[in-house]
Structures are given as structure tokens and as C-alpha cells.
Structure 1
Amino acid sequence: MKKLVEILPDKQALIERSLTLVLEKMQSAIQERGQCTLALSGGSTPKPLYEALAEQPLPWEKIQVFWGDERYVPSDHPESNQRMARQAWLDRVSIPAANIHPMPTSAGDPARDAQNYETELQQWFKLHSGEVPVFDIVLLGIGDDGHTASLFPRTEALKVSDRLVTVGNKDGQPRLTFTARLINQARCVIFLVAGESKRPALKQIFAPSGDEMTYPARLVQPKGELWWLLDKAAGAELNSTTSDQRAIGDQSLKANN
């Protein structure tokens, strides 16, 4: 795994850096494989990134958009990750409808919809039984509790190792989520993290040893590149908690593992 950590001066710099990085990875994927497969995250942090992507002159027919997790609500619900991404980005560009692959939430049964999305992934990636899709880019964030996607602390979803998509649980509310197994096959995983409230969780996630059941983001160890893009408010304490990094400039840390 190649691990890189960058601490940016503020959230605006974080979004600008993430845009540059995502565009670079998109271009590489299209050049190498003819298309780019991208899994989106929800939450407030990536929304400005999606808005910035909507302004780019990209070859939309070569970009395939999926979601790494979704609240189990209708697609037009204010809390829907799909709705946010469509409003901020996808409805504003000429991407073919067939290139957008939202998580289904209409069966009335989260487990069945998780299976339906897993089947869609297997069919779209043309996989045989037991094979795992390899996404070009997976975007993630973390919560103050150290969760990522809808992999929440001390929940059953963290133990799922034989599925691609499973049901997450937040305070009794079901969500659909990629499993750690699927996330970790990606060529590039990019965490976007902003805000001082994330510091305690980051300290535990970056600690040399720790409990993945308590801080699920520790489970993310992809076979490809792992990028942590943090604003200064979130990453200010990492200098004292990460021994495998070397400072570059005033605000940036990078490391290769």
C-alpha cells in the first residue's frame, strides 16, 4: 500500500487539492483502461468537490459513477447521498444516465437492496463468483466517531468479509454500504477530512495500533494508493501522532508505506 497524507491550510485548499488529485486519477484511468470508475461519498465535505467537478470539461461518457454508501431513504429525500451528488454535480453535466449507478433503496428491505447492488456490481464489472470489483477511485470521509462509508463502530457490518455490499446501522437506522473488502480492492482511496472535531478520531486512526471495531476507518488498507487529504483544523495534531511521515513545507505531510 502506498500511503500519502497531506495537510492543507484550510477547507478551500483541501477542495482544490482534492479536485486536482481526482482529475489526475480520472485521466490516468481513462488513458490506461478507457474509462474511470468512481465511488462517491456523502456528507458535507465532498459537496464543493462535486460542484467543482461539474465545471470541468470531462469526457463524461467515459466516467462511471457509483456510491460507496447510502442512507436508506428515497432518492429525493433531503438526506440522500444520491440527491446531493446529483444536485451538486451529475444533473449539471452531460453524463449519460446509464453511467450513473445509485444504490437502490426502494425494495423496502435493506438486505435485499444491498444484494441487488452487489449483483449490479458483479454484472457491470463482469465478475465471476468470488471476484471483487477494482474501482479506480473511492472517495471517503470520516465521522467524529471514526466511521467511514456506513461502517459504524461496533456494528455487524464491520465483520462482513464475504460480501461486496452490506447493511450498515447508525442508531437503528439502516444504510447500504461497501464492505471493507470491496473498498480495499481499489486502485486509489481518497479520504477528505475537515474540521477540528475530527482530531480525536484521526489520532486513533493513525495510531500504530488500535481497535478497528471502535475506529472503523482503520480497516481501510487498500491494495493501491491511500490518500488522506486533511485541512489544518483536522490534521493539526498529526505531527505528534504519526512517526512514519516526513514534513513537506509548512502544511503538508506525505508518506509511502
Structure 2
Amino acid sequence: MSRQLVVHADRASLVGETADRIAATIGAVLAEQDECHVALTGGSVGIELLAALRGRALDWSRIHCWWGDERFVAAADGERNALQAREALLDHVDVPAANVHEMPASDAGHDLDAAAAAASGELGDRALDLVLLGMGPDAHVASLFPGHDGTDVDEPGVIAVRDSPKPPPDRLSLTFGSLNRARRVWIVVAGDDKASALALAMSAADRHEVPAAGVHGTQETRYLVDRAAASLLPDGMLD
């Protein structure tokens, strides 16, 4: 599967135009099938992107929201991706509660392993229609970090992540197996602090060292970036 690179002039245009792309893609999916299953992402750009979707005309009754990863903290903790997504988008649209598939919080009665098992059970063998991912300066995606055991897992599902190099230490994450069975995977990246990681991710780097290089969709893999993030890419790649 080839990877598509879309370079935007700046962060604002990246967010606005990617929101347009998401809305158009969801609309196209819903024209062909009854539901669209989307994995949302956190991070500063990810939350800006979700906020930008508020004004788009979408049939939220047919959209199901999942997450690529989650911080294993209390449900009301501001660090939770799901809580941030609710504040940015989901509390402002008519999405049915049953369509929002949060990963378990730490105060939901599960330990970390049981939470991973519960989230895996809810996801089942579903192939998501669109997965949105951010990327860290270390090239991690979801909560799959360089050198961590999670980069070895090919089975679909949700895994427990311990000793994350980025706080909080306990997390839940989709595996490469689940990410790579998605039909479309879009990695959204902004800022010159991500430039080195993006250059590695767009190369043939080993996913154990550069997790972002190991994700792809079955139909489409797209990197949507701003010029700052693309600053270390070869000129030929930008043509």
C-alpha cells in the first residue's frame, strides 16, 4: 500500500482542510454503507481537528467513535482523550451515546489488563473505516512507543501499556493488528519538532524503532502535515 503525503502551508490550514477531508470521507462512506466507524486521536492538533468538525454537516446518528489509545486515568481526568474529545466535539453534536466507544477509565472497576480485555471485546474483529493518528517527536503513534513490547504485537485488539515514556505511565492502545486492518489510516502531524520523526516514518524504518513507519490502511495511508513538519523530507517527496 503506497503512502500519500499532503503538505499544508501551516497548522491552521492543516486543521481546517483535514476537517473538510474527514467530513467528505465520512460522507462518502455513509453513501455506501449504513455506518461509519472512526478512531479519534488526542494531542493538541488532534483536538483542534475535532473542534473544527463541529460545523461540518454530518449524520452523527450513523457515526461510531472509537479511540486509537487512551490514558488509563479516572473518567473525569482532563488527560483522557475521550474527555477532551467530548469537550471539543462530541458534546456539541447529536451523536448517540451508544455510538461512543470509550476505552475503560481507571475508576471503572477494571485493572489495566482487564480494561484492555474489555476494550478488545467491544472492538471485536471490526475493521475501522478511518483511523486518525497523531505522532510524537519520538515517532510513536497511539501508545505504541519505540522499543516497547507493544510494537511486537500483531494480533488485533487493545493492549495494556505500562511504563510509558510519556506520562501517564499506564495506557491502553490499539495494536498494529487493529490499526493495520483499518481501511484508511491518516497520520496528522504539525510542527518542526516532528520533522525528524516524519522523515523516518516516511522511510523504510523498522516499526520497533519508528512505530509510525509500521502503520497503514488496507485501502489508504495518508500523512497530512504542515510545512514545518515536512521540512526535513527530500525535495522529490514534496513534488
Q: CA deviation at 1:168?
A: 2.2
Structure 2 unaligned spans of 5+: none
**Residue 182 of structure 1 is aligned with which of 159, 169, 178?**
178
Determine the C-alpha separation between the residues in 2 that align with 1:163 and 1:184: 9
Alignment of 1:91-102 (within 5 A): 91-102=91-102
| TM-score (structure 1 length as normaliser) | 0.87
Which structure carries more relative contact order (alpha carbon 8 Å, separation 6+)?
A: 1
**Residue 135 of structure 2 is aligned with which of 142, 151, 155?**
142
SS at match of 2:119: helix
Q: CA deviation at 1:71?
A: 0.4
Determine the C-alpha separation between the residues in 2 that align with 1:192 and 1:230: 6
Is structure 2 residue 116 aligned with structure 1 residue 114?
Answer: yes
Verify the 8 A CA contact 1:151 1:177 in the aligned structure 2.
Answer: yes
Q: Deviations over 1:200-238 (max 9, x none)?
A: 11121122x322211111110221201100001101221
Paired position in structure 1 for 2:196: 200
| TM-score (structure 2 length as normaliser) | 0.93
Paired position in structure 2 for 1:29: 29
Verify the 8 A CA contact 1:168 1:176 in the aligned structure 2.
Answer: yes
Determine the C-alpha separation between the residues in 2 that align with 1:220 and 1:147: 10
CA RMSD in angstroms, aligned pairs only: 1.4
Verify the 8 A CA contact 1:152 1:168 in the aligned structure 2.
Answer: no
Instruction: Tell me the amino acid that sits aligned with residue 46 of structure 2.
Output: P
Is structure 2 residue 187 aligned with structure 1 residue 191?
Answer: yes
**Residue 232 of structure 1 is aligned with which of 216, 227, 233?**
227
Determine the C-alpha separation between the residues in 2 that align with 1:163 and 1:36: 19
**Residue 206 of structure 2 is aligned with which of 190, 197, 211?**
211
Q: CA deviation at 1:109?
A: 1.3
Q: Deviations over 1:5-60 (max 9, x none)?
A: 01111001101221121011101111111111000111111112111211223211
Verify the 8 A CA contact 1:2 1:224 in the aligned structure 2.
Answer: no
Q: CA deviation at 1:187?
A: 1.1
SS at match of 1:186: coil
Q: CA deviation at 1:107?
A: 3.1
SS at match of 2:84: helix
Q: Deviations over 1:85-134 (max 9, x none)?
A: 00000001111111111001223411110110111112xxxxxxxxx321
Verify the 8 A CA contact 2:113 2:160 in the aligned structure 1.
Answer: yes
Structure 1 unaligned spans of 5+: 123-131, 248-257
Is structure 2 residue 157 aligned with structure 1 residue 164?
Answer: yes
Percentage of pairs with the same residue: 34
Determine the C-alpha separation between the residues in 2 that align with 1:95 and 1:60: 5
Aligned residue pairs total 234
Q: CA deviation at 1:176?
A: 0.3
Once the two structures are overlaid, the 10-residue window that deviates more, 103-112 or 223-232, is 103-112
Paired position in structure 2 for 1:62: 62
SS at match of 1:143: coil
4+ residue segments displaced more than 3 Å: none
